Amino acid sequence: MRPGGLDRLLEIGLLLAAVVGRLPALGSWWTLDDWGQLARAAGIGPAAEGLPARWLSQHAWWSLAWPLAGLDPDPQTLARILLHGAGAVLVARIGRRTGLPRVSWFLAGLVFVATPLAFTPLYWASGIQELLGAFFALLAVDRWLAGGRANLGLALGAALLSMLAKENGLGLPLLFIALLWFGTVGIQDRPFAWAMTMFMLLFAVSEGALVMAHFATGETDPYALGGGAVILSNLGSFGWWLLTPGPVFASRLSWLMGAAGAAFFLLWGLWAWAMARGGRLLPAGTFLAALLVLGPALPLRTQIHPYLAYLAAAPLGLALGCLVPSRLKPGRAVPAGMLVLAVAWSFFGMRIRLANRNELGFPADPVVRATSLSWQTTRTVRQWTGGEAGTGPAPAASLVFLQVPVQGRAVEDAARFGPRWVKESEIHRACGGSVGPLLSGPPGLDVAWRNSLEGAPPDALVLTETATGFNVWGRTPNAVLYAALTDLALGHFERARRHLLLAARLHPDTVNFTFDEGQMIVPLDLAVENLPRFVDWSVQQLDNGASRFEVGGLQDLIFDLVSVASGRPVRELRQGSRIMIPGSGGELRQASPDTSPGKER
């Protein structure tokens, strides 16, 4: 076989290895930032104000994909896998253009194929930002190395698209300046190349300013920036992640891991310097490229994740290719074995990462966990709103996601900001607040998150948030009784009072309560235990302006609720409590075993 034909065959092998090895990503679902992008594309989210940052990956891509695929995630997942495969081919081509032997550039491509840093961009739909940024950055470098005006023009276009996708391409102008300055590229029309580079640099500065304007970077903001210590610490973290063969990354890095990562970059730099002194500049180019890729993320105080180093796996692979002895001439069985190993490592690495669980039994990977929560939520929505035929009772036209404040700051904020305030919990973030349920349900579905059922639609179906999903409390008239019991169990007596008053309005004649203890989000025993305290508290409300009729009604209703839920008779529950007596002008009496039910209220 001619050398050119063999090179093409190896490139096809890289593409196929990348695709087959990442097939476990198929079957993922939308989560976290995905819902905001889908909402904007579907026309139910706010439009971008002014010039948007990451226009290609956060706007154009989603506007194109939504009409073509809608909520089906598989087409987008397949597109991401193909982009990853194309990136691996480009890494190999870059290695070939820089003079690496066949086995070396093939190894570089395989490193990119199998890197565990690719998991999140491939599994998570919003990872398209990393993949588009990486693909166009690699394409820009490949075309730049090819030389000629046409290729330089293509390199410029690809570089601009990379910057419009993610910040990992903002350093391309500096890389091209270095290539021109040190004369490592055989470009004949150097004035034209310098003009392209200066335009690219101006665009990078403008896009960087736009990103800074769009993302909050203040001291307490999510994208807060730090100084030299933060940069050095993050460099160590990225170094460790680049060194980690996977498939699972440490959830928290120790100082020793960070020191090892920083030492890795130090050794890489020293090796590159030594090679450059001997006239071999490619190692220095890989070192510079890795720093430029990671540069935009290095000052971040908190938003540091392994997948941000995805593109840095390309210069890492090329650097490893440089270490392969040039005299090594392996037989054809060796590349085939390397391909099989890369496919197996990628495929089973994905499977292991998906199956990995934390100490609570939940998915350990945060994106996998969020995806699971989002899938459960939207599936529940489809079940109860008629989206899945033959499941559930009559479809609900209105959904209320109830987030009961349990203790501390959440209780204070709920009282301060009212029933519509909710905490940004893991489930709330995973399903995009109301966006995921809205897009998953039928047209016209009304969705709201609340911390209380006051003001909720009377016919709404209420789904109450738990740590792992939602419990179904039924329609509002039934759910408000669950809410009152829950408030009683938590010792939130004022909230219990308001829910009981709402229940009295929704049940003007008789109270019908369909109760399942398994749907409670707190132990029922706590409600029974707190019942005497609530009754005493209700009596104290007489001093705060409550009427005796209201106090007696509250006592009646709470005793009946706890009796229905616990199976204990009302007489037993009333023993020892100060209860209102009807027909006595609001007389208070201590209930006892001899108190006749007919004379108690």
Q: What is the pLDDT of residues 129-169, one digit of tens each?
A: 999 999 999 999 999 999 889 999 999 999 999 999 999 99
Asked if residue 387 is part of any domain, the answer here is no
Distance CA 328, CA 313 (A): 23
Asked if residue 165 is part of any domain, the answer here is yes
Residue 80 contacts by C-beta under 8 Å, 6 or more apart in sequence?
Answer: 25, 121, 122, 125, 127, 128, 131
CA distances from 404 to 352, 470, 471, 496 (A): 35, 12, 12, 12
Mean pLDDT of 415-421: 91
The structure tokens 């839920």 sit at: 565
Q: Is the pLDDT of residue 121 over 70?
A: yes
Distance CA 486, CA 219 (A): 38
Q: Predicted confidence band at 576 (pLDDT cuts at 50, 70, 90)?
A: low
Domain hosting residue 102, numbered range = 13-28+73-355
State which of 1-15, 127-141, 538-552 shows the largest mean pLDDT.
Answer: 127-141
Q: Predicted confidence band at 184 (pLDDT cuts at 50, 70, 90)?
A: low
Asked if residue 122 is part of any domain, the answer here is yes
Mean pLDDT of 49-53: 79
Q: Is the dihedral of CA 342, 345, 349, 351 positive or negative?
A: positive
Q: Is the pLDDT of residue 405 over 80?
A: yes
Strands 461-465 vs 470-475: parallel, antiparallel or unpaired = antiparallel
Predicted confidence at residue 539, as pLDDT, reads: 84
Mean pLDDT of 300-328: 92
Asked if residue 77 is part of any domain, the answer here is yes
Tokens read off for 488:
């009683």
Q: Is the pLDDT of residue 2 over 70?
A: no
Q: What is the pLDDT of residues 213-245, one digit of tens each?
A: 888 777 778 788 889 999 999 999 999 999 999
Backbone angles phi, psi at 575, to 5 degrees: -60, 125
Predicted confidence at residue 46, as pLDDT, reads: 78
**Residue 287: closest CA among 327, 324, 322:** 322
Q: Is the pLDDT of residue 580 over 90?
A: no
Distance CA 391, CA 31 (A): 24
Question: Per residue in 295-329, is it b (16+ CB within 10 Å) or e — as a string?
Answer: bbbbbbbeebbbbbbbbbbbbbbbbebbebeeeee
Asked if residue 570 is part of any domain, the answer here is no
Predicted confidence at residue 53, as pLDDT, reads: 86
List the single range of 118-122, 360-364, 519-523 with lowest mean pLDDT: 360-364
Question: Per residue in 125-160, is it b (16+ CB within 10 Å) or e — as a string?
Answer: bbbbbbbbbbbbbbbbbbbbbbbeeeebebbbebbb
Asked if residue 526 is part of any domain, the answer here is no
pTM score of the predicted model: 0.89
Q: What is the pLDDT of residues 246-283, one digit of tens each?
A: 888 887 899 999 999 999 999 999 999 999 998 899 99
Number of domains in the chain: 1
Q: Is the pLDDT of residue 357 over 80?
A: yes
Q: Is the pLDDT of residue 289 over 70?
A: yes
Mean pLDDT of 386-400: 68
Asked if residue 255 is part of any domain, the answer here is yes
- What radius of gyration, in Å, describes the C-alpha atoms of the chain? 31
Q: What is the percent of the chain with per-residue pLDDT over 90, rounded to a whole number?
A: 66
Asked if residue 265 is part of any domain, the answer here is yes
Mean pLDDT of 464-493: 93
Q: Is the pLDDT of residue 185 over 80?
A: no
Predicted confidence at residue 601, as pLDDT, reads: 34
Q: What is the percent of the chain with per-residue pLDDT over 70, rounded to a whole number?
A: 93
